[in-house]
Structure 1
Amino acid sequence: MTSQTTTAAAAGTWTIGDLTVRRLGLGAMRLTGSAAFHLGTPSDRDRSLAVLRTAIERGVDHIDTAAFYFSRLRSANELINRALAPYPDDLLIATKVGPHRDLRGDWATSARPDELRGHVEENLRQLGRDHLDLVYLRRMRQDSIADHFGALADLRTAGLIRHLGVSEIEPSHLAEAQAIAPVVAVQNRYALDRAAADPDAVLRLCGEQGIAFVPYYAVAGQHGENAVTGADHDEVRAVAHAHGVSAAQVRIAWTLSRGPHVLAIPGTGNPDHLAENVAAAALSLTADELRRLDAVRTTTGE
């Protein structure tokens, strides 16, 4: 398949709660500008809308967003609403709460449990929906997430949220949340060159329990919210050259190789990059190439 004919269906599917989605989705953060959040140049509105509509045409049915994804002129949620409403029946829109920003774009302190309803309602307003398909609680370094997750579980019972997830967690936090309400997805920072003491512990636990593992910054890696700004690792570039693809496509394929429960949500506001990202759904890496890429992790750290 070429980048012009491949669809997200090539990545296969995974079921999140009662919603089956393709394993190649779209992260919405970079729709708002040339860099994350209020940094850089605001995006071209028409181009961002075109990226969203083209993503749906190419089979993407999972979009990851948040109310705090906004730049000086753009809001990811409102772009999604403008481009896609009325929404396709099979589209899963995931959002997250916990961190938040003031109207100037500055980061505020982590939300209190009693503030989370307001954050959920803001996502509902911006997206033009009466419920949210999936809401992640992003842990903000607190030791316990019970009070915050419990507040979201109450909103699930009230019908404002369909499914719950957790983000930036360790195994103990997953167990803590599951004792309160079902967890259907985990979103942790995870990339080929983002190694920790045991970077795969939560990934393995999710696989054992049938929970979706949804890495963020999987393409940007150590560059995080600032995106990739320089040359990639030698091994990544070598594998990319062998297949005639980009380093970003190799990183997406590597992410999908980590297990059938692992989903990729590469973010972009560029139509050409969107086509490349979707094409990566059909990229198959050999066992030797995967071993070489895995070895990169042993030479990089937090």
Structure 2
Amino acid sequence: MTSLTLPAAPVRDILERAFAEDAPGGDITSQLLIPAEARATAVLGARVPGIFSGGTVFRDAMKFVDADTEVELLVADGEAFDAGEHLVRVSGRARSVLLAERVGLNLAQRMSAIATKTAEFVRLVEGTRARITDTRKTTPGLRILERYAVRCGGGANHRYSLSDAVLAKDNHLAVMTGGDPLKLTALLKAAKAQLGHTTHFEVEVDRAEQIEPVLAAGVDTIMLDNFSIDELRAGVLQVAGRAIVEASGNVNVHTVADIAAAGVDVISIGGLTHSVAALDLGLDVTLSSSEALTASSLG
């Protein structure tokens, strides 16, 4: 599994924006109902099995509100857990815990959902050469967290942004060639000649007849978009190791094993991030005196 680390600065920026949105003037409910001196303990628990991601983000959310809040991570990011298992334990000022709860929980639930979904796809392609990767179909502003969650699930990351690598898709090719496919190789070669040697060059094709003109330009990766399984097998044979072969489109839990078995190197899946449902995690909070304060999550 690739390194499971998150840089502190962008996480803090996300939390700043999240709390400015969720509590611009503080938590008036807790300020009204909870004594300032009240202390609480809380446990982040799993109501369904999954793969954990976002534990450190949950911790940082708690400490963003109150640096004195104590947070113990009981399950590490990237680890599997069962329903009923405790993932994180929190202790601190009750008002602080309640203020931080929703932001921390929202992020951990989404990240764990992505990690869990990714792990399912990774399991389905075991024994093949295919790597499961994400796409840029992420929540604006949360890409760094969602990409991290993919790694927690055992997947890999595609290019992070438009600035990182060249990926010429169907619309690019249409504009470039003006509808004349005979121009494709020469135009791609000319474009590649302008790149530094470290910049990756990938081209998407949606028809088999585009494969050879694209390969002739010396690209690094060729993406076979929405190819059938038979077309993928034929495409892999045609490429014959001259470029990395990526499959994209119509990828789900029912098709991914056959796509991987066709011999592709990479399978990119937008659904890892763009359409997951939050994993069912909950925060159970009690007063340190053992008097029940609240169960589950508020709001």
TM-score normalised by the chain length of structure 2 = 0.37
> Which of 1 and 2 has greater Rg?
2
The answer to which structure has the higher strand fraction is 2
TM-score normalised by the chain length of structure 1 = 0.37
